[in-house]
Amino acid sequence: MDPSVLFSLRLSIQVASAATFFIVLIGVGIAYLLAMKRFRGKELLDIICTLPLVLPPTVTGYYLLVLLGRNGWVGRPVYEWTGWNIMFTWYAAIVASFVVALPLMIKTTRASIESVDKSLINASYTLGHSELGTALKVTLPLAKRGIIAGTILSFARAMGEFGATLMVAGNIPGRTDTMPISIYAHASSGDWSKANWMVVFFSLISGLLLYIANHFSRKTI
Amino acid sequence: MGLSLKLQKKVEGFTLNVEWKIGNELAILFGSSGSGKSMTLQLIAGLIEPDVGIIRSNGSLLYDSMAGVNVSPQKRCLGYVFQDRVLFPHMTVKKNVAYGWRESYRPEMADRVREMLHLFHLEGLEDRFPSEISGGEKQRVALARALIGRPKALLLDEPFSGLDRPIRLELSLLLTEIRNEFDLPVVFVTHDIFEDYALPDKIIVYSGGRIIQVGSPNEVFDHPCEAEVERLTRFHRGMGPSYR
């Protein structure tokens, strides 16, 4: 296999895995809050977390630039302090994939947490278990299938992230060209044979991931 | 010892306004559906909050709207058996029972779990999941789970609903044993008094969020104080041998 194709494949998996790790960590927490709690600004949080699902990826990418760029709200102080900027590194690709794929995790997990029988949670409380203990031993284990399905969907979405990634990580061959970006580059330069191979491969992987996600989101109990 | 309460709670189109007190006895909250019986249990357990009221269990204050006391459901130490025998579907019978253990001292827990499994005739079912056992067995697991933590009162919401007659009879005998063995107040909610073979010490009759009669079974059945009680108990009068 062509070494540049192999690099893109490896980078895509690396980026998607790292993004998914943080998505699970943060997404489950946010989904739990949205499903179980009533607080001020809940609707706003819900909308902000869902926006990347409907916004054009370029708009999401633009926000990330404004936030993380060398003159950005977060980017500038970090640059002044360390002399390092995240833009056009593969870490920026992780951030872009994270932001774009997070809503899928939150939506799927929230729905499965909301479908847990409230009596089971109340039973746990009356048996003396704290809210955290109940979440870890009852609520989340019962929402497990939804969480797994959300994780797989997020991974697939993170693998496929293109627009926002292009804006913040760019297209630097051998450094930030994930598979979707590499396909774009090859197709636009007329290098069809490499693009063909990657397109077929990508479709197969995504199809397989969707199949597994469906399997988990199907109710068996 | 015992359980006493005075509660007011208004929800859409319904007002609960009740006051009663029981000792370490078996009390039945009786009345038609929607009369506020289950709501009373949820209020006692702290799952919902009353507008105004006081709840005392075993001498300690659980809730007092005037003094601003509201003990969390976790700390009320009450055994609550939910309608529909709510067991954790992802835990085995043994784990369900062990889940009710309130202290952290683990070695003692294993012994207590074994003891409860024995007391509730659940030996041999330890490693089954709730979906693999019968309705009567589920109810025994729910009782064992509620009682292993030595609660200060036992609250039962329609515990016999949907079970066959022989199973109800067996469970009601078990309830009598529980009352004697654990010596605690048992509050039993039902809308069908005839299904309750357990001999209650007291019957509290609910109607539309109010209490319309409190008394021993004989008093309530032989001398219904209002037409409403008369109507509710009409079919059972003279039929339940346990009340005669």
Q: How many Cβ contacts (< 8 angstroms) between chains A and B?
A: 54
Cβ distance B73 to A122 less than 8 Å, yes or no, reads yes
Q: Is pLDDT larger for residue A198 or for residue B244? A: A198
Concatenate the DSSP letters of all residues of chain B into one string.
Answer: --EEEEEEEEETTEEEEEEEEE-SSEEEEE-STTSSHHHHHHHHHTSS--SEEEEEETTEEEEETTTTEE--HHHH--EEE-TT----TTS-HHHHHHHT--SS-HHHHHHHHHHHHHHTT-TT-TT--GGGS-HHHHHHHHHHHHHTT--S-EEEESTTTT--HHHHHHHHHHHHHHHHHH---EEEEES-GGG--S--SEEEEEETTEEEEEE-HHHHHHS-SSHHHHHHHGGGTTT-GGG-
Distances (CA, A) of A160 to A176, A187, B15, B214: 14, 16, 56, 69
Cβ pair A116, A139 in contact under 8 A: yes
A129 chain-B contacts, CB cut-off 8 A: 74, 99
Whether the CB-CB separation of A184 and A169 falls below 8 Å is answered with no
User: Which residues of chain B does A221 touch, with a Cβ-Cβ cutoff of 8 Å?
Assistant: 89, 131
How much is the mean pLDDT over chain A?
Answer: 92
Subunit contact B88:A119, Cβ cutoff 8 A: no
Q: Do A127 and B102 touch (CB under 8 A)?
A: yes
Contact of B107 with B70, CB cutoff 8 Å? no
Q: How distant is the Cα of B230 from the closest Cα of chain A, in angstroms?
A: 34
Judged by average pLDDT, the poorest of A98-102, B170-174, B203-207, B209-213 is B170-174
Q: How confident is the model at residue B237 (pLDDT cuts 50, 70, 90)?
A: low
Q: With bands split at pLDDT 50, 70 and 90, how would you rate the model's confidence at B242?
A: very low
Question: What residues of A are in contact with residue B100 (Cβ under 8 Å)?
Answer: 127-128
* Residue pLDDT, tens place only, A103-113: 999 999 999 99
pTM for this entry? 0.85
Report residue B244's pLDDT band, with 50, 70 and 90 as the boundaries: very low
Give me the number of domains chain A comprises.
Answer: 1
Query: Could you tell me if B109 lies within 8 Å of chain A, comparing CB atoms?
Result: no
- Whether B149 and A127 lie within 8 Å, measured CB to CB: yes
Q: Please indicate whether, in this complex, the C-beta atoms of B102 and A128 are within 8 angstroms of each other.
A: yes
Helix, strand or coil, per DSSP, at residue A34: helix
Alpha-carbon distance B199 to A139, whole Å?
Answer: 38
pLDDT at A218 over 80: no
Block residue for tokens 């109800």 = B168
CA distance linking residue A164 with residue A63, whole number of Å: 9
Of B81 and B231, the one with more pLDDT: B81
How far, in Å, CA of B234 to CA of B231, rounded? Answer: 5
Q: Residue B212 corresponds to which amino acid?
A: I
In sequence order, the β-bridge partners of residue B57 are: B3, B60
Give yes or no for residue B52 having a pLDDT over 90. yes
CB contact under 8 A, B86 and A141: no
Chain A contact present for B240, CB below 8 A:
no
Tell me, what DSSP letter sits at residue A117?
-
Whether the predicted pLDDT of B196 surpasses 90: no
**Residue B74 near chain A (CB below 8 Å):** yes
| Residue in chain A nearest B89 by alpha carbon | A142
B68, B61, B87, B209: which is closest to B142 by C-alpha? B87
Q: What is the ipTM of this complex?
A: 0.87
Q: What are phi and psi of B16, to 5 degrees?
A: -100, 130
Residue type at B221? Answer: F
**Which residue of chain A is at minimal alpha-carbon distance from B101?**
A127
pLDDT band at residue B240, thresholds of 50, 70 and 90?
Answer: very low
CATH number of the CATH domain containing A79:
1.10.3720.10
Alpha carbon distances (Å) from A211 to A12, A200, A206, B90: 20, 17, 9, 25
Residue A120: both structure tokens together: 């089971």
Q: Nearest-CA residue of chain B relative to A127?
A: B100
Nearest-neighbour CA in chain B from A119: distance (Å): 7
Which chain A residues are Cβ-neighbours of B45 within 8 angstroms? Answer: 122, 126
pLDDT at B149 over 70: yes
| Phi, psi for residue A83 in degrees, rounded to 5 | 75, 15
| pLDDT value at B243 more than 50 | no
Show the domain range for A43. 3-217
Q: What are phi and psi of B28, to 5 degrees?
A: -100, 125
Spatial separation of the C-alpha atoms in residues B167 and B61, rounded to whole Å: 36
Chain B residue with minimal CA distance to A118? B86
Residue A95 is predicted with a pLDDT of 96
More confident residue, A157 or B84: A157
Report the candidate in A31, A57, A40, A61 with the shortest Cα–Cα distance to residue A150.
Answer: A31
**Poorest-pLDDT segment among A39-43, A144-148, B159-163:** B159-163
CA distance B210 to B206: 6
Average pLDDT for chain B: 87
Kindly report the number of other CB atoms within 10 A of residue B35's CB atom: 26
For A156, the 3-state DSSP assignment is helix
> In this complex, is the C-beta atom of B79 within 8 Å of any C-beta atom belonging to chain A?
yes
Contact B82 A125 (CB under 8 A): no
A interface toward B at CB cutoff 8 Å?
Answer: 117, 119-120, 122-130, 137-138, 141-142, 221
Tokens 């630097």 -> residue:
A172
> In chain A, what residues touch B85 (CB-CB under 8 Å)?
none
What tens digit of pLDDT does each residue of A38-94 get? Answer: 999 999 999 999 999 999 999 999 999 999 998 889 989 999 999 888 999 999 999
How many Å separate Cα B4 from the centre of its chain? 14
